[in-house]
Structure 1
Amino acid sequence: MVASFPASSHIDNPYRLNSGEYDSRFSSHAARLFSKTNAVRVRHCDKGYSETLTSELKIQEYLTKFPTFTGTRIILIVQGYSWGKLQITEDGCRTLLSGLGVFSEFMDLLQAFGTKTSSVDETFASRPIFQGEASGSFRLCYLSKHVELNDSEHTKQAVDIYSVRQMGVYHGYDAPNHGHTFVLVNASLTFQQHWLQAYESTPVGMRWMDLHVAVTYAMTYRWREYVNHLEAKFETTQSKSLSVPSHHFAQLSNHTPRTLTGLREAGMRGSDIALTSLSKDPGAEEPDEHVSFADIQGLQVLKDTVLLLDHVLRLNVGVFGGLRDRLPGLAVPGPSLTACSADPKAALADYFVRFLGETAVQAQRVEHLLRRIEGVSTLFRTILDFRALESARYDSQIMLELSQKAHQDGGALKTITLLTLVYLPATFVATLLSMGYIRLTKSKNGYLVPELDEEMWIFTFLTVILLVVTLSYRKFWERRQTQKFEEEKRNGYNA
């Protein structure tokens, strides 16, 4: 058997599709899509046949054993983990899908799986892709988005306990043999549990339309829980804005030291007092938490998550709408829904109305939550801006008091300097005369005449020497400080 998917298919119109482009895309994404082992599970719903195809040879043997098929069968292609590789090889996938007659456009769906190496394109198979034939046979594929609860081991490393995952569905109907073949890629746990319950409770298990109902049910399951979880996270963050009553801002002046003495007694800076006052309610216990910049970051992360959910829910609404319009119109003989005594098409329409209504309700909740997040983000920014202004106001007040005190100290120093200038000359003259080097004697004419002592030169010499030493040391010290400053500046630039 030639592994030709997706390059050739007898049901593809070569003028509508470029099969070469699909084959090139398949090869280019094979490294991130497929693993090196096969673990494909096969189950025939109405005959009890089940098998796990663990090699390409077993895939070929299965296709040879069932060249045609009557009834309903499910083929599961498992994904190792979220954003992991599919548990099938490239050649095994080509062989399997070619043997089942899968159309080339199924590649659009496959491309949405595999290892995540770049931003995810959420437009792959965003609407059901349908292809019908004159014989009554048809091919249908679509991508469903659902919510899963992360397992305990994964939750320890995950940011959230829930995650949005995807499931690929292919349905091929062979009208001449009345055979329905479903290929499910990364089937959700909800769907698998539903499938096993139905298989055990009814002799024939799920019928072909039951499978679509089960898939769409899994698309709506746990969305309510996830939105409730996100709203609880939002309420926890929002409650921080209520820990600081707005009237308390007007009472800051009554609870904050406004002088330097008060600050020293409190042992705080002005900004610390402003922030403490804003997060403390008089007469009540100090709250454990208050608004911080990290809360704004958390709200932004939450907003990004909610925006993604809004987008995913819109995609699911599109899938629901496409299936609602397409499935009831399919002319397939035989029973299609289990335990349905009324018109199966009307019952199917009722199911989709219910699923669409539930999805629309969750989409409205997500949209409302998004608006609330934007409002609280604005409130948090306002609170932080107000705190910054209060901190700046108190810092400015402290600086004003410091400058006023410095001005007072400058006035006192000016007075001391003036007094020094008055008394310094008299002090110098008195000191010089008291040393005995200069004596005042009366001349014969009665005038006072100064007489210098013979040792006066020693005083003059020592004075000059000490003056030179003092000035030299001062010059040396200034040069050394300048060099040290330049060296520190260069080290700072290099760091």
Structure 2
Amino acid sequence: MGKITTIQQYYCDDDDIYRLLADTFAPGTYKVANLNDGGRRIEAPRRLTEVRSIFHPTVTWTPPSPQLLLSFDHLAVVNVVQQELRWLRSQKDAREEQRRQQELQNYEDAYGPKNLHSLTERYDMYGLGSLDRGCARMQIGAFLVSRAIGRELYQKSNLQRDSIAMDEKTPNTGNVAWWPKKRMEKRLFLDDVCGVREGFEMNSSRMFGDSEEICIESHLIDSSRYERNIIKNIEGLEDCLFDAGQLDEKLSTIHPRASLLKLRQSGSRSHFSFSSKAGKLILSRLSVTPQFNNILTCFGYEDGPGTNGRSGYCEETKGKKAGHLTFETGYILKHVESKPGSEIPFSIRQMGVYQKFTVSTQKSSSLLIQPSLKVEKRIIELAKDRDIGKICAHWKNLHEIHLGTVSSNWTEYIRLIDAKVCEVEGAVRYAHPNDNSPDRVTFTTLQNLNKYNDILIRITSALELNIFVLSKLNTTAIKRQSLDKPEASEQYEEFREAIQMCITEHDFLKHHVSLIQECSRELASLVQNTITLMDSDVMLTLTKKTIQEAQSMRTITFVAMIYLPASFTATFLSMGFLHVESLNGIMKLHATADMCPPTPPTSQLKLCKKK
């Protein structure tokens, strides 16, 4: 392990410094502490050269104090980086072989002769592009220069190893990416990073699959090229994210560039087609804002009546001066997709959007979660027409693609439900309680009406959520217009008009749905009354039959009351046990011996008397 060096720098962008440290050193081998003057102090197990100022060669700038100004040509930069790579290779023996080789390959690909770029672009790699802020706010980061060039600075600086209480530490997670990594300075007390991590871990089993195989579609776009690839493993994803998250920053100085990652689920309510490890890698490498977790957790496996009842919106604006702005935008939009073969061939789906756009470099990194078929077709059309490169010109262009397709199929879906309700209305309006035809009103009719009403409730909820998200996007556009360049005002006005048009369309659709809902509720009430009348008619018929049966029983009872006594007497006399004789006008009744009890013998009577 090399000598431990302490570096003090007066300003650094957190995104740049932490990403650089995480990519350069093993987790837990460096310390970062905040200083009283607002700077940072870094303790790392290697020789880092303290660079107080690095400036653009073409910018005229007078430093406030004598400093060493570094200047070298393109080839020198390549040699510098190659020397640093060779030195870095000897310091990474503790890491896994596969990971080490991958990191080295990424660096060699980034700084090889085939990817040679200007010194300014090399600075942009480490967040050094915004040089007109002045020395006090220079994005120095931890720019690596060769030991040969920096030896004089290193010897003069007389840096010593200090014992520093670590103020912030990157979690030791091995080779697994960790997200979110930190809190933003301006949201120090608001962002619950630990809570976001816990929520992410709790929902991982629901959102991500268990297989290491992944299926992610990547799109790399610039003004002259459009490249589409399918990523099928973690290694390919790391290559793509290295290119999208780091090389874009140095390429974008000359060529504005956009990278899109399409994240899909295997079904509308199932897991993502990649693992939790891949998800963390994506979010970590792109430095996605922690607020995006609320949007991400709306996806994944869910089964319940309120599946599509959630939505989300987040935005971050970094920087206060025109030309040095980074915009982060994330939201969910509800849309309608066709569902062939079903009784109702439409269903409500949701798509998530995340974009990180740097105004000064026109570089953007975006995530499209479960994009709609219309959005994908629109991207293909733009690529065929060679207009897809214009998506890099402004942050609003990606969102306009979604604005232009979000209203599709809503009208057809609502009209279909309207037609279904009208069919029920025709059967109910002219129904008769005594009608026994197959189309008569039954409990099934009421069930269908309740199903249509439930669909209308879901449509209303989805439209209201879209209106809320679009309103927030409009507010964000107003906010960013005041920060962006004045010449971009016309683009903002057009964007806001497009948002307002979508809101107006959704308002009209919502009004149509409310009308159908009111009719559906009235029909449901009418169906209930009709079913009640039909039940009453059935009960009346049963009552009449009961009365008729009661009358019949009364007649039978009356006849039986008269007939049964005479019948019993006649039957009893006809049995032969009694005989009637008339002697001299006197009637005598004789019973047969069977009717009399047996008489005991005389001997038994005598014995009884003696006793």
Fold shared by both chains (TM-score > 0.5): yes
Structure 2 residue matching 1:112: 3-state secondary structure? coil
Q: Cα offset for 1:34?
A: 1.2
Aligned to 1:72: 258
Structure 2 residue matching 1:87: 3-state secondary structure? strand
Confirm or deny that 1:414 pairs with 2:561: yes
Closer/same/farther in 2, CA of residues 350 and 423 from structure 1, 3 Å limit: same
Aligned to 2:469: 319
Confirm or deny that 1:38 pairs with 2:223: no
Aligned to 1:364: 511
Structure 2 residue matching 1:433: 3-state secondary structure? strand
Confirm or deny that 1:139 pairs with 2:139: no
CA contact (8 A) 2:226 2:389 kept: no
1:152-191 CA distances to partner (integer Å, 9 max, x unpaired)? 4xx35xx631111111100101234321221111111110
Confirm or deny that 1:196 pairs with 2:380: yes
Stretches of structure 1 that go unaligned for 5 or more consecutive residues are 246-274, 281-286, 337-341, 463-495
CA distance in 2 between partners of 1:38 and 1:421 (Å): 96
CA contact (8 A) 1:9 1:103 kept: no
CA distance in 2 between partners of 1:308 and 1:84 (Å): 20
Q: Cα offset for 1:203?
A: 4.1
Confirm or deny that 1:148 pairs with 2:337: yes
Q: Cα offset for 1:452?
A: 7.7
CA distance in 2 between partners of 1:375 and 1:191 (Å): 38
Aligned to 1:384: 531
Confirm or deny that 1:18 pairs with 2:207: no
Aligned to 2:294: 108
- The letter for the 1-side match of 2:593 is W
- The letter for the 2-side match of 1:348 is F
CA contact (8 A) 1:243 1:279 kept: no
- The letter for the 1-side match of 2:538 is S
Q: Cα offset for 1:312?
A: 0.9
- The letter for the 2-side match of 1:210 is N
Aligned to 2:445: 295
CA distance in 2 between partners of 1:12 and 1:32 (Å): 32
CA distance in 2 between partners of 1:449 and 1:138 (Å): 130
1:455-485 CA distances to partner (integer Å, 9 max, x unpaired)? x5367689xxxxxxxxxxxxxxxxxxxxxxx
Calculate the aligned-residue CA RMSD, in Å: 3.1
The residue correspondences of 1:406-485 to structure 2 (distance < 5 A) are 406-417=553-564, 419-420=566-567, 427=573, 432-433=578-579, 456-457=592-593
Structure 1 residue matching 2:260: 3-state secondary structure? strand
Closer/same/farther in 2, CA of residues 424 and 34 from structure 1, 3 Å limit: closer
Structure 2 residue matching 1:88: 3-state secondary structure? strand
CA distance in 2 between partners of 1:101 and 1:452 (Å): 123
The residue correspondences of 1:205-220 to structure 2 (distance < 5 A) are 205-207=389-391, 208-220=395-407
Q: Cα offset for 1:440?
A: 6.5
Closer/same/farther in 2, CA of residues 108 and 458 from structure 1, 3 Å limit: closer
CA distance in 2 between partners of 1:121 and 1:433 (Å): 95
CA contact (8 A) 1:40 1:54 kept: yes
CA contact (8 A) 1:45 1:199 kept: no
Residue number among 417, 424, 427 corresponding to 1:240 in the alignment: 427
Structure 1 residue matching 2:549: 3-state secondary structure? helix
1:233-266 CA distances to partner (integer Å, 9 max, x unpaired)? 1112222113425xxxxxxxxxxxxxxxxxxxxx
Residue number among 349, 373, 393 corresponding to 2:540 in the alignment: 393
Q: Cα offset for 1:346?
A: 2.5
Structure 2 residue matching 1:16: 3-state secondary structure? coil
Structure 2 residue matching 1:322: 3-state secondary structure? helix
CA contact (8 A) 2:217 2:263 kept: yes
Deviates more, 1:376-385 or 1:293-302: 293-302
CA contact (8 A) 1:78 1:86 kept: yes
Structure 2 residue matching 1:29: 3-state secondary structure? helix
- The letter for the 2-side match of 1:50 is R
Aligned to 1:482: none
CA distance in 1 between partners of 2:331 and 2:284 (Å): 18
CA distance in 2 between partners of 1:441 and 1:228 (Å): 107
Closer/same/farther in 2, CA of residues 457 and 374 from structure 1, 3 Å limit: same
Residue number among 435, 450, 461 corresponding to 1:279 in the alignment: 435
Closer/same/farther in 2, CA of residues 94 and 334 from structure 1, 3 Å limit: farther
CA contact (8 A) 2:317 2:325 kept: no
CA distance in 2 between partners of 1:375 and 1:298 (Å): 14
Aligned to 1:259: none
Taking structure 2 as the reference length, the TM-score comes to: 0.60
Q: Cα offset for 1:128?
A: 4.4
- Matched residues, number: 404
Identity between Structure 1 and Structure 2 (%) = 14
Q: Cα offset for 1:232?
A: 1.2
Stretches of structure 2 that go unaligned for 5 or more consecutive residues are 1-22, 24-175, 599-611
Structure 1 residue matching 2:455: 3-state secondary structure? helix
Aligned to 1:83: 269
CA contact (8 A) 1:141 1:171 kept: yes
1:182-223 CA distances to partner (integer Å, 9 max, x unpaired)? 111111111000111112113444524232111122221110
Q: Cα offset for 1:9?
A: 5.5
Q: Cα offset for 1:414?
A: 2.2
CA distance in 1 between partners of 2:498 and 2:260 (Å): 22
Aligned to 1:57: 235
Structure 2 residue matching 1:181: 3-state secondary structure? strand
Aligned to 2:415: 228
CA distance in 2 between partners of 1:11 and 1:99 (Å): 19
CA distance in 2 between partners of 1:139 and 1:212 (Å): 12
Q: Cα offset for 1:10?
A: 5.2
CA contact (8 A) 2:317 2:327 kept: yes
CA distance in 2 between partners of 1:176 and 1:304 (Å): 48
CA contact (8 A) 1:12 1:104 kept: no
- The letter for the 2-side match of 1:344 is Q
Taking structure 1 as the reference length, the TM-score comes to: 0.74
CA distance in 2 between partners of 1:127 and 1:409 (Å): 82
